[in-house]
């Protein structure tokens, strides 16, 4: 009797235990899946690369809760997509991912990549219009949890640029971890460089007389410096920094002169540069060549011809400026 | 230090011409104050003015130790150690001397006229510099050019009391002394170079250009095999005295030994010593075979020195290039890392139109001038060429640095034009002297119409060239001479008109007073800024703290005498970002920030009513960007753009935009101007919806005549601890709720109770 009761009690206890176990395992599947997610991510981790996800992985990993940060790059690498920046950015993203693996504190931060071919439905669900895009899913539980509005933050590629360094900096700030980009040192590159450097030095040594003639040539320096200052004074650096189009388009007609005083097209600056140079060259010719002509008639003709060229070019310059600044009151011939 | 030649007649002529050029340079800069009044312009000058007053009233030592508590609240600013005191001390000295001579003049007038005065000096300095390059005719031309070139006028009109006003004179004069020192190998001129360099260091951060250009010149000369004891003496004297004296400026301190900007000068100083040592040994040895060894020695030491500098930099003993200078090389750097530098309009790259606008004819003849310098290529021409090459790059990267390019363009163009004039006016050995004479008087008649400056140059040039003339070639016929001279004179005359036109139209606006034309052509003055600042001065408590975007900081402290949070000295990015955050967040968030910073009033600039485009809504993106740089969680630039990526203020504006404090304060009650219909923003050409904007944390206290400046007072926290939005809806909510309740009650209970309750409500 006693033993039977004990047995039933034992049975009950076992049942309870079983039940409890079953219960706890079900809750485990929902609540503690952060750990499982980390395990899954760790199992997919490969050296020197971001984790390649599928659509299902993505759904699984981005589902709350999470105790780690996840950066996902959405790309379309298939050649028929023709996304060149995606391919460029993949390298940078992988570089950031592998750099993090060197510094890794396990379970803090993961870099993953989802290609359009692997997760079409995700792209549709998130209404992605353009790639590449990087999304950051911050942790929702654990000591590092951050509350943000919405599921994820978009990493603004337009602002930060397509470099691994910028991504690393952003990720370090966002996740409060400390890591920087480690580029694997390329010994073969160094070797070839040293080789080429030595070879170059050797070549220079061999043909030193010619090289010396070139670098001490006053004419060459003259041309180079004039070219340089003409380039700089015709808005070249503006073009480098602002990256305007070569020419514009208005009403389906190509446009040479950009509207607006503070705006310019590349072709426009080239025309201006050529004008500067041409006017100066004409002036130099007038001053240096004409006195050398010994025949008065010839000299007279040459003077008239060159002065007219000089004036016409300068008038074009003024005219060109008037195109930019309509209220400019001065002109010469034109 | 005017060079007086043997012929006293031509010397007198030159002095007269220079004097006239000086007067011209001075008076062409007076447009701004003749049209309005003698007033300090823009933003930075207001700070300089305020500090000058402090200097004049309390003396130099108090000025150096001055802690300014009116700015950067609650941090304050140690002014003495964070300014270049050159301009204040210069103005203070002039003021002192004038008063000592019994000319009781107010310090404001000294400040207003300082830049034009120094422009006249710059013309003299340019004359001297160019005379060293070519001859005094070219010098006079260069002086006239720099006197009226808009590239320089843009920063030196009367009232523009800023560092650049005296710095360009110091720059040109230091270069002149340097050239003189190299030419003569004189320790005296080397020391004078250092003295003027010291003045320059005390006046403008652009002195770094000198500390790098002069060593570059020395280096180039050594590479060209032109090392000489003259170079050694002048550079060593200059470097030692210049560096030690520059370290006396508190703001510079030990930078000459600790930062990369100054390392080129130090390195070249070392190199010159080595070269001098090796040359000395060589002069005592005759063996040729040692030559290789010596060259090896020199390059070895050089490489060692470079390696040493690099390792010191890496090791952290020498600070790498600072952001401001670094962004000149890596032009994308500032935009990503220091938006505060990128946001300033004078730090933008220069389009070609600015070059032509500022230099016109000179720009076109600049390359020709470079050519003529190469043709002669003495030591001083190497300097001009290096200056031309570097300055044209810097001017291309930053609009502001047009200023450093202008002197060299004037010099080069003067050299080119003089070459042309001399060739075409010179007497040829065979041709009758009649031709030359015939052409000069003919010219003189024409010149009566031409502007003063051009005329002076021409006669001087004609005179000096008449004296010269012995080389082989020449111009044989008089009409060939006229063929070039007449168009050239026309162009120069036109250049003078161009300069006056640009000065009058573009560079003479004081920017604190705006001028516009009424339909009938008469002038209409918009004086909202001073109106608002004066209001603040008269109507707010003395200790009131005023929050505005940093652009207006100097003006508020200068004109209203009130404490500001941030100002144009952008030394603390975080503090500026905090203000940016307060401006771009919603009212609740902003209110907390403002309370923490003790803000009493907020000042915004709004141009939508009259079409003033430099207002805060147009600058708003930078506030957001700078705010986001420090508070990425609170401010997000993306949220201010519509789904199509546009920056909108009308109905399509995003909700973040519409809820931002800046937007609300700018457009608060704006539609009422339009009789209740949708309002029209004249700057952005947008229709502003006629929905009333509710402000719960600030009160509008003042709006100026043309709505340009709007001032809001920050409310005190609610005295029974509610949030301000809740407090502001207090009466309304209760009434609405009560009405509902009373309606419900009326249905249940008897009508009398309901009526009684309603009466209570009312």
DSSP string, B675-710: TTS-EEETTTTEEEP-PPPP-SSEEEEEE-TTSSEE
CA distance B33 to chain A (A): 24
Best probe of the A interface among B138, B364, B417, B422, by most A CBs < 10 A, is B364
Question: Chain B residue closest to A264 (CA)?
Answer: B351
Q: A284 vs A279, B131, B371, CA distance in Å?
A: 9, 21, 8
DSSP conformation letters of B264-281: HHHHHHHHHHHHHHHHHH
Is residue A233 less than 8 Å (CB to CB) from chain B? yes
pLDDT of residue B472: 52
State whether B423 and A291 contact (CB < 8 Å): yes
Q: How confident is the model at residue B737 (pLDDT cuts 50, 70, 90)?
A: low
What average pLDDT does range B86-105 have in this prediction? Answer: 94
- For the cut 70, the answer to whether the pLDDT of residue B469 exceeds it is no
Residues B469 and B606 both lie in one domain: no
Look up tokens 């670094």; give the residue. B326
Q: Which letter does DSSP use for residue A152 in this model? A: -
Q: How confident is the model at residue B731 (pLDDT cuts 50, 70, 90)?
A: low
Residue B375 belongs to domain spanning:
1-37+84-161+351-473+480-511
Of the three residues B320, B342, B374, the one that is the final residue of a domain is B320
State whether A283 and B365 contact (CB < 8 Å): yes
Contacts of A30 (CB under 8 A, 6+ apart): none
State whether B479 and A300 contact (CB < 8 Å): yes
What average pLDDT does range A141-167 have in this prediction? Answer: 76
Please name which of B298, B154, B170 lies closest in space to residue B242, comparing C-alpha atoms.
B170
State whether B396 and A238 contact (CB < 8 Å): yes
Q: How far apart are CA B762 and CA B755, in angstroms?
A: 11
State whether A304 and B363 contact (CB < 8 Å): no
Contact B146, B122 (CB under 8 A): yes
- For the cut 90, the answer to whether the pLDDT of residue B238 exceeds it is yes
What residues of A are in contact with residue B365 (Cβ under 8 Å)?
Answer: 279-280, 283
Q: How confident is the model at residue A107 (pLDDT cuts 50, 70, 90)?
A: confident
* CB-nearest partner of A287 from B420, B476, B497: B420
DSSP conformation letters of A190-232: HHHHHHHHHHHHHHHHHTHHHHHHHHT-HHHHHHHHHHHHHHH
Residues B153 and B198 both lie in one domain: no
CA distance A311 to chain B (A): 7
Residues B310 and B388 both lie in one domain: no
pLDDT in tens, A124-136: 888 777 778 888 8
The ipTM value here is 0.81
Tokens of B475: 């111009």
Q: How far apart are CA B508 and CA B746, in angstroms?
A: 73
Q: What value does the mean pLDDT of chain B take?
A: 84
Q: What value does the mean pLDDT of chain A take?
A: 81
Residues B356 and B465 both lie in one domain: yes
Residues B445 and B575 both lie in one domain: no
Is residue A292 less than 8 Å (CB to CB) from chain B? yes
* CB-nearest partner of B396 from A236, A280, A286: A236
What residues of A are in contact with residue B397 (Cβ under 8 Å)?
Answer: 237, 241
Is residue A215 less than 8 Å (CB to CB) from chain B? no
What residues of A are in contact with residue B487 (Cβ under 8 Å)?
Answer: 307, 310-311
Q: Which H or E element spans position B511?
A: none
Q: How far apart are CA B21 and CA B120, in angstroms?
A: 7
Please name which of B80, B758, B628 lies closest in space to residue B336, comparing C-alpha atoms.
B628
State whether A226 and B367 contact (CB < 8 Å): yes
Look up tokens 């040479």; give the residue. A256
Q: Is residue B64 a part of any domain in this protein?
A: no
- For the cut 50, the answer to whether the pLDDT of residue B228 exceeds it is yes
Phi then psi for residue B681, to 5 deg, are -85, 115
pLDDT of residue A272: 94
What residues of A are in contact with residue B419 (Cβ under 8 Å)?
Answer: 287
What average pLDDT does range A70-94 have in this prediction? Answer: 82
Strand partners, B484: none
Sort B727 into a burial class: Cβ within 10 Å, 0-12 / 13-18 / 19+: middle
Is residue A307 less than 8 Å (CB to CB) from chain B? yes
For the ranges A171-175, B179-183, B437-441, the maximum mean pLDDT occurs at B179-183
Residues B132 and B217 both lie in one domain: no
B67-81, B238-252, B292-306: lowest mean pLDDT where? B292-306
Phi then psi for residue B484, to 5 deg, are -90, -40
* CB-nearest partner of B363 from A233, A283, A329: A233
Q: How confident is the model at residue B448 (pLDDT cuts 50, 70, 90)?
A: very low
pLDDT of residue A53: 83
State whether B498 and A304 contact (CB < 8 Å): no
State whether B416 and A173 contact (CB < 8 Å): no
pLDDT of residue B426: 82
Residue predicted with more confidence, A27 or A125: A125
Is residue B392 less than 8 Å (CB to CB) from chain A? yes
Q: Which letter does DSSP use for residue B598 in this model? A: T
Q: Is residue B79 a part of any domain in this protein?
A: no
* CB-nearest partner of A218 from B368, B377, B483: B377
pLDDT in tens, B550-605: 889 899 998 989 999 998 887 888 899 999 999 999 988 899 899 999 999 999 99
CA distance B425 to chain A (A): 11
State whether B477 and A229 contact (CB < 8 Å): no
What residues of B are in contact with residue A148 (Cβ under 8 Å)?
Answer: 633
Cis amide bond preceding B74, omega within 30 = yes
Q: Which letter does DSSP use for residue B319 in this model? A: B
Residues B237, B240, B241, B244, Cα dihedral to 10°:
180
Q: Is residue B195 a part of any domain in this protein?
A: yes
Residue predicted with more confidence, B65 or B724: B65
- For the cut 80, the answer to whether the pLDDT of residue B438 exceeds it is no
- For the cut 70, the answer to whether the pLDDT of residue A8 exceeds it is no
What average pLDDT does range A67-78 have in this prediction? Answer: 83
State whether B336 and A166 contact (CB < 8 Å): yes
pLDDT of residue B260: 84
Three-class secondary structure of residue A136 per DSSP = strand
Residues B296 and B379 both lie in one domain: no
Residues B116 and B181 both lie in one domain: no
- For the cut 70, the answer to whether the pLDDT of residue A1 exceeds it is no
pLDDT of residue A152: 79
State whether B637 and A161 contact (CB < 8 Å): no
Question: Chain A residue closest to B475 (CA)?
Answer: A291
- For the cut 80, the answer to whether the pLDDT of residue B135 exceeds it is yes
Give the rounded percent of residues in chain B with a pLDDT score beyond 90.
Answer: 43
State whether A286 and B484 contact (CB < 8 Å): yes
pLDDT of residue B738: 54
Total structural domains in chain B? Answer: 4
- CATH code at B572? 3.40.50.12610
- For the cut 80, the answer to whether the pLDDT of residue B164 exceeds it is yes
Please name which of B487, B145, B402, B382 lies closest in space to residue A279, comparing C-alpha atoms.
B487
pLDDT of residue A27: 42
Contact B733, B557 (CB under 8 A): no
Residues B642, B647, B653, B655, Cα dihedral to 10°:
70
Q: Is residue B51 a part of any domain in this protein?
A: no
Contacts of B637 (CB under 8 A, 6+ apart): A156, A159, B621, B624, B625, B628
Q: How confident is the model at residue A199 (pLDDT cuts 50, 70, 90)?
A: very high
Residues B133 and B213 both lie in one domain: no
What average pLDDT does range B180-202 have in this prediction? Answer: 95
Tokens of B112: 């207003």
What does pTM read for this prediction? 0.79
pLDDT of residue B749: 47
- For the cut 80, the answer to whether the pLDDT of residue B378 exceeds it is yes
Residues B218 and B100 both lie in one domain: no
Q: In B204-262, where does DSSP find H-type helix?
A: 207-223, 229-246, 255-258
Q: Is residue B45 a part of any domain in this protein?
A: no
- For the cut 50, the answer to whether the pLDDT of residue B113 exceeds it is yes
Best probe of the B interface among A283, A301, A324, by most B CBs < 10 A, is A283
Residues B686 and B607 both lie in one domain: yes
CA distance B699 to chain A (A): 30
Strand partners, A74: A114, A133
pLDDT of residue A179: 77
State whether B372 and A261 contact (CB < 8 Å): no
Strand partners, B699: B713
A–B CB contacts, 8 A cutoff, strictly below: 169
Is residue A145 less than 8 Å (CB to CB) from chain B? no
pLDDT of residue B742: 52
Contacts of B685 (CB under 8 A, 6+ apart): none
What residues of A are in contact with residue B498 (Cβ under 8 Å)?
Answer: 330
pLDDT of residue B287: 65
Superfamily in which the A32-175 domain is placed by CATH:
Glutaredoxin (3.40.30.10)
Question: Chain A residue closest to B348 (CA)?
Answer: A238
What average pLDDT does range A25-41 have in this prediction? Answer: 62
For chain A, helix, strand, coil in percent to 5 are 60, 10, 30
What residues of B are in contact with residue A292 (Cβ under 8 Å)?
Answer: 473
Please name which of B143, B220, B127 lies closest in space to residue B182, comparing C-alpha atoms.
B220
Contact B46, B554 (CB under 8 A): yes
Q: Which H or E element spans position A154?
A: strand A153-155
Residue predicted with more confidence, A191 or B754: A191
What average pLDDT does range B83-89 have in this prediction? Answer: 92
CA distance A13 to chain B (A): 52
* CB-nearest partner of B393 from A232, A283, A314: A232
Tokens of B643: 């789904």
Q: Is residue B336 a part of any domain in this protein?
A: no
Question: Chain A residue closest to B390 (CA)?
Answer: A229
Q: How confident is the model at residue B300 (pLDDT cuts 50, 70, 90)?
A: confident
Residues B554, B557, B558, B560, Cα dihedral to 10°:
130
Question: Chain A residue closest to B327 (CA)?
Answer: A241
What average pLDDT does range A159-177 have in this prediction? Answer: 78
A28-42, A175-189, B456-470: lowest mean pLDDT where? B456-470
What average pLDDT does range B466-472 have in this prediction? Answer: 43
For the ranges A47-51, A122-126, B35-39, B162-166, the maximum mean pLDDT occurs at B162-166
DSSP conformation letters of B416-428: HHHHHHHHHHSPP
pLDDT of residue B721: 80
pLDDT of residue B286: 65
Q: How far apart are CA A119 and CA B538, in angstroms?
A: 66
Contact B537, B187 (CB under 8 A): no
pLDDT of residue B430: 54
Is residue B349 less than 8 Å (CB to CB) from chain A? yes
- For the cut 60, the answer to whether the pLDDT of residue B439 exceeds it is no
CA distance A19 to chain B (A): 45
Q: Which H or E element spans position B427?
A: none
Q: Is residue B649 a part of any domain in this protein?
A: yes
pLDDT of residue A28: 43
CA distance A264 to chain B (A): 7
- For the cut 90, the answer to whether the pLDDT of residue B225 exceeds it is no
State whether B475 and A299 contact (CB < 8 Å): yes
Contact B89, B200 (CB under 8 A): no
Question: Chain A residue closest to B339 (CA)?
Answer: A159
Residues B175 and B293 both lie in one domain: yes
Q: How far apart are CA A69 and CA A110, in angstroms?
A: 6
Contact B420, B137 (CB under 8 A): no
């Amino acid at each position: 009797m006693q033993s039977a009761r004990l047995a039933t009690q034992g049975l009950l206890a076992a049942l309870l235990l079983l039940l409890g176990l079953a219960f706890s395992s079900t809750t485990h599947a929902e609540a503690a899946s952060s750990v499982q997610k980390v395990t899954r991510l760790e199992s997919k981790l490969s050296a020197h690369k971001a984790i390649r996800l599928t659509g299902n992985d993505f759904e699984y990993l981005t589902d709350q809760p999470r105790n780690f940060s996840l950066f996902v790059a959405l790309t379309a690498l298939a050649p028929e997509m023709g996304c060149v920046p995606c391919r460029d950015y993949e390298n940078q993203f992988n570089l950031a991912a592998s750099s993090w693996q060197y510094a890794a504190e396990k379970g803090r931060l993961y870099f993953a990549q989802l290609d359009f071919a692997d997760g079409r439905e995700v792209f549709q669900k998130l209404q992605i219009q353009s790639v590449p895009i990087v999304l950051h899913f911050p942790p929702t539980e654990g000591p590092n949890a951050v509350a943000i509005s919405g599921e994820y933050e978009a990493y603004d590629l337009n602002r930060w640029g397509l470099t691994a360094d910028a991504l690393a900096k952003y990720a370090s700030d966002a996740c409060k971890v400390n890591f920087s980009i480690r580029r694997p040192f390329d010994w073969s590159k160094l070797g070839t460089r040293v080789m080429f450097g030595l070879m170059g030095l050797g070549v220079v040594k061999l043909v030193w007389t010619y090289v010396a003639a070139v670098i001490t040539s006053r004419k060459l320096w003259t041309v180079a410096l004039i070219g340089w200052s003409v380039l700089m004074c015709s808005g070249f650096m503006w073009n480098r920094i602002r990256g305007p189009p070569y020419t514009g388009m208005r009403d389906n007609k190509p446009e040479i002169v950009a509207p607006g005083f503070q705006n310019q097209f590349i072709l426009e600056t080239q025309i201006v540069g050529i004008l500067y140079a041409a006017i100066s060259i004409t002036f130099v010719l007038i001053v240096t060549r004409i006195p050398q002509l010994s025949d008065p008639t010839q000299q007279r003709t040459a003077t008239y011809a060159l002065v007219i060229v000089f004036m016409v070019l300068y008038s074009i310059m003024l005219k060109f400026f008037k195109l930019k600044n309509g209220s400019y009151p001065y002109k010469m011939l034109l | 230090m005017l060079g007086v030649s043997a012929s006293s007649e031509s010397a007198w002529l030159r002095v007269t011409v220079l004097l006239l050029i000086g007067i011209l340079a001075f008076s062409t800069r007076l447009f701004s104050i003749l049209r309005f009044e003698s007033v300090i312009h823009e933003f930075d000058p207001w700070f300089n003015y305020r500090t000058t007053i402090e200097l004049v009233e309390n003396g130099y030592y108090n000025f150096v130790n001055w802690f300014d508590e009116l700015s950067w609240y609650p941090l304050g600013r140690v002014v003495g150690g964070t300014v270049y005191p050159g301009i204040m001390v210069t103005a203070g000295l002039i003021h002192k001397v004038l008063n000592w001579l019994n000319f009781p003049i107010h310090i404001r007038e000294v400040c207003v006229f300082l830049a034009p005065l120094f422009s006249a000096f710059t013309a003299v300095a340019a004359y001297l510099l160019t005379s060293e390059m070519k001859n005094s005719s070219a010098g006079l031309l260069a002086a006239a050019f720099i006197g009226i070139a808009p590239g320089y006028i843009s920063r030196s009109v009367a009232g523009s009391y800023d560092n650049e006003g005296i710095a360009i004179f110091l720059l040109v004069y230091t270069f002149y002394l340097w050239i003189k020192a190299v030419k003569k190998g004189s320790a005296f001129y080397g020391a004078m170079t250092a003295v003027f360099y010291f003045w320059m260091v005390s006046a403008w951060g652009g002195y770094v250009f000198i500390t790098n250009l002069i060593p570059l010149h020395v280096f180039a000369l050594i590479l060209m095999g032109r090392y000489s004891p003259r170079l050694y003496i002048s550079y060593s004297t200059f470097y030692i005295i210049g560096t030690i004296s520059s370290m006396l400026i508190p703001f510079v301190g030990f930078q000459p030994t600790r930062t990369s900007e100054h390392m080129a000068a130090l390195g070249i100083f070392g190199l010159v010593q080595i070269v001098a040592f090796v040359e000395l040994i060589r002069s005592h040895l005759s063996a040729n075979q040692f030559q290789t060894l010596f060259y090896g020695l020199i390059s070895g030491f050089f490489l060692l020195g470079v390696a040493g500098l690099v390792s010191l930099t890496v090791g952290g003993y020498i600070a790498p290039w600072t952001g401001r200078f670094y962004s000149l090389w890596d032009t994308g750097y500032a935009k990503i890392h220091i938006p505060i530098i990128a946001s300033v309009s004078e730090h933008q790259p220069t389009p070609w139109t600015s070059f032509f606008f500022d230099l016109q004819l000179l720009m076109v003849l600049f390359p020709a001038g470079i050519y003529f310098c190469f043709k002669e290529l003495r030591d001083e021409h190497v300097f001009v060429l290096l200056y031309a090459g570097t300055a044209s790059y810097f001017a291309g990267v930053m609009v502001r640095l047009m200023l450093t390019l202008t002197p060299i363009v004037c010099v080069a163009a003067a050299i080119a034009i003089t070459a042309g004039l001399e060739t075409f006016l010179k007497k040829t050995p065979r041709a009758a002297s009649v031709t030359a004479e015939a052409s000069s008087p003919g010219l003189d008649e024409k010149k009566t119409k031409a502007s003063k400056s051009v005329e002076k140059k021409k006669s001087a040039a004609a005179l000096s060239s008449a004296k010269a003339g012995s080389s082989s070639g020449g111009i044989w016929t008089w009409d060939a001479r006229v063929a070039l001279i007449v168009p050239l004179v026309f162009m120069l005359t036109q250049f003078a008109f161009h300069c006056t036109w640009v000065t009058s139209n573009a560079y003479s606006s004081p920017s604190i007073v705006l001028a516009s034309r009424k339909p009938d052509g008469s002038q209409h003055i918009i004086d909202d800024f001073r109106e608002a600042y004066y209001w603040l001065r008269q109507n707010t408590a003395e200790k009131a703290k005023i929050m505005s975007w940093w652009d207006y900081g100097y003006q508020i402290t200068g004109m209203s005498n009130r404490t500001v949070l941030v100002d144009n000295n952008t030394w603390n990015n975080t503090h500026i970002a905090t203000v940016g955050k307060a401006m771009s967040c919603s009212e609740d968030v902003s209110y907390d920030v403002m309370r923490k910073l003790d803000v009493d009033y907020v000042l915004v600039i709004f141009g939508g009513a009259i079409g003033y485009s430099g207002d805060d809504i147009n600058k708003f993106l930078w506030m957001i960007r700078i705010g986001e740089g420090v508070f990425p969680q609170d401010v997000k630039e993306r949220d201010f753009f519509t789904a199509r990526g546009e920056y909108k203020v009308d109905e399509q504006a995003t909700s973040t935009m519409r809820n931002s404090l800046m937007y609300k304060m700018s457009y608060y009650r704006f539609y009422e101007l339009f009789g209740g219909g949708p309002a029209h923003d004249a700057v952005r050409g947008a229709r502003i919806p006629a929905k009333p904007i509710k402000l719960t944390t600030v009160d509008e206290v003042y709006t100026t005549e043309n709505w340009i400046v709007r001032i809001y007072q920050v409310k005190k926290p609610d005295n029974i601890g509610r949030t301000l939005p809740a407090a502001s809806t207090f009466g309304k909510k209760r009434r609405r709720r009560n009405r509902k309740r009373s309606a419900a009650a009326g249905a249940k209970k008897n009508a009398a109770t309901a009526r009684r309750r309603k009466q209570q409500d009312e």
